[in-house]
Amino acid sequence: MAKKVFYDDDARARVLAGAEILYNAVKTTMGPKGRNVVIDKSYGAPTVTHDGVTVAKGVEIEDKDDETLGYKVGAELIKQAASKMNDVAGDGTTTVTVLTYHILYEANKLIAAGHNPMLLRKGLEAATHEVLKRLDGMREDIKANKKRVAEVATISAADAEIGNLIATVIDSVGKDGVVTVEEGQSLELESEVVEGFTFDRGFVSPYMVSDAARMEAVLEKPSILITDKKISSMQEFLPVLEQLAQAGKKDLLIIAEDIEGEVLGTLILNKLKGVLNVVAVKAPAFGDRRKEILQDIATLTGGTVVSEDQAMSFESVDTDVAGSARKVIVTQDETTIIEGAGSKSAVKERIAQIVAQAEHASSEYDKENYDKRRAALQGKVAVIKVGGATETEIEEKKFRVDDAVAAVKAALDEGIVPGGGVTLVTLASSIADDTTTAQGAGASLLKQALVQPFLQLMANAGLNGSALLDKVENAKAGQGVDVNTGKVVDLKAQGIVDPARVTKEAIQNASSIAGTAMTMGALVVEIPKDEPAPAAGAGGMGMGGMM
């Protein structure tokens, strides 16, 4: 495909224009007075969301003509900032979008005025380093403070009912406990704590996800095949798959040392064709410890490990080796098995064996691993069931619950800071006003960007942001605007707080991505080809059986 190259101001202007399109869509969701965004889909009902990263992922920009070439690159930069923020903190995606865009915007103005972009970047990085050190000193620990947990969740979800429910759930399973969110069967928001086993391995291919917006694969009452072998031969593996398909068991979890080329490709093909709803994950841990954990999972699910040590193969077994569970949720990083179908007495016996082994462990390391296995088998998972009158309402609320759970976990890990954009304003005031040097000008990029989330919060609430910013800058430490009343209040006293980690990651990611993008000297983009019209009367492909 032919490509075109743009340079300097033209390149930066095109990237900024694409970033602005995404920024304008995402910024409307900021804060409790933020609006929802409706995202059309190629199939099914549209997505209605208040979640920044979902909006960012939902915007697809095409470089249709010479005027818009390069816009897609700018949009992808904002998506990268939001996605990375979601991965590391689970919340704050709108904040990082606003910060990233404004650093880019101000940088473009300074570069056009003659500033060296490399020196500006150095100033930006130095200011970011100092601001993050200052932020670290502003944190307040909230461990075991259920009221604060509820406040964090309420602010994130913009809903007190969600906030209070999450606080209760976290109190039940602990800060490291697993919390899953699913569609409820009523109009209400409900929760339950059930048996659950989690290990740190995710799906081997993103083609296995069933919910692209949440990047997770969900299996209902799946069969679970467990092996300590590599699965590399489709000829060996096919018989048991066909038996499961013939028995009407379409949901399947495969846990193996590895799933290689031919087998993985065939599984993905059958997943995409709807023959099997299959998810494959690599077995956790290594060596003997891996074998023991696989046996733990087999006991929990009522299955049998197809083991190389026992000279077993999938050609010689039937579906009786498969375990099961009420539900399995697999993300990019972890797998959660909810209510395994194994015998409770067998699980208790397995736990007793592990406890006895821990008592006779030859080292602290071994004892710690035994304790981890016991804890995993005794694990609890909180299930939050989100109800609503329509699928659209439920989906929108699920996004908010997800964000609120992530915000709470971040707050429990690293504490809280005053919310409402005020911590960012306070940090901005700590950066000196000095544009006489390149380093000072680079620092000014961050200084100007840090007040923008506050101004956007005010704009979304229909308030005079400039006037209120002046009031906040001259108010006592920790005071800010309650957008529900428009008054300046003690934010922590009013429960308006943010997780410190979310604030830190937003600053760090925005500075990193914008700082890299603003040093661009050239932009190389593909020139789109005109797509030929599809031939009339083309037939579809049949589903067929197992490939």
Indicate the DSSP class of residue 320.
G
Structure tokens given for 89: 């903190």
Cα–Cα distance measured from residue 110 to residue 77, given in angstroms and rounded to the nearest whole number: 20
Question: How many CA atoms within 13 Å lie on the side-chain side of 40?
Answer: 2
pLDDT digits (tens, 9 = 90+) for 54-90: 999 999 888 777 888 999 999 999 999 999 998 888 8
Query: Three-state DSSP class for 49?
Result: strand
pLDDT beneath 70, residues of the chain? 1, 530-547
Please report the beta strands in 78-147, taking only residues with DSSP state E, as ranges in sequence order: none
Indicate the DSSP class of residue 221.
S
Structure tokens given for 272: 């995409």
Q: State CA 78 to chain mean position distance.
A: 15
* Residue whose token pair is 């190629």: 42
Angle (CA) 26-108-436 rounded to 5° is 125
Residue type, 209: V
Structure tokens given for 301: 């699910």
Indicate the DSSP class of residue 314.
G
Query: Which domains does the chain carry?
Result: 3-140+415-526 (1.10.560.10), 141-188+387-414 (3.30.260.10), 192-379 (3.50.7.10)
Q: Is the distance from CB of 99 to CB of 453 less than 8 angstroms?
A: yes
Indicate the DSSP class of residue 208.
G
Cβ neighbours, 10 Å, residue 510: 28
Structure tokens given for 312: 């077993």
**Percentages of the chain per state (helix, strand, coil), in multiples of 5:** 50, 20, 30
Q: Is the distance from CB of 131 to CB of 103 less than 8 angstroms?
A: no
What confidence score (pLDDT) does residue 531 get? 62
Which residues make Cβ contacts (< 8 Å) with residue 433, sequence separation at least 6?
Answer: 444, 447
Which residues make Cβ contacts (< 8 Å) with residue 266, sequence separation at least 6?
Answer: 234, 547
Q: Is the distance from CB of 446 to CB of 431 less than 8 angstroms?
A: yes
Burial category of 465 from C-beta neighbours within 10 Å (exposed 0-12, middle 13-18, buried 19 and up) = buried
- E strand or H helix at 158: none
What confidence score (pLDDT) does residue 528 get? 79
Nearest alpha-carbon partner for 150 in 173, 176, 179, 170:
170
Query: Three-state DSSP class for 513?
Result: helix
Q: What is the pTM of this model?
A: 0.80
Cα–Cα distance measured from residue 58 to residue 38, given in angstroms and rounded to the nearest whole number: 9
Indicate the DSSP class of residue 332.
S
Cα–Cα distance measured from residue 306 to residue 328, given in angstroms and rounded to the nearest whole number: 20
Q: Is the distance from CB of 280 to CB of 251 less than 8 angstroms?
A: no
Structure tokens given for 544: 């067929």
Indicate the DSSP class of residue 144.
T
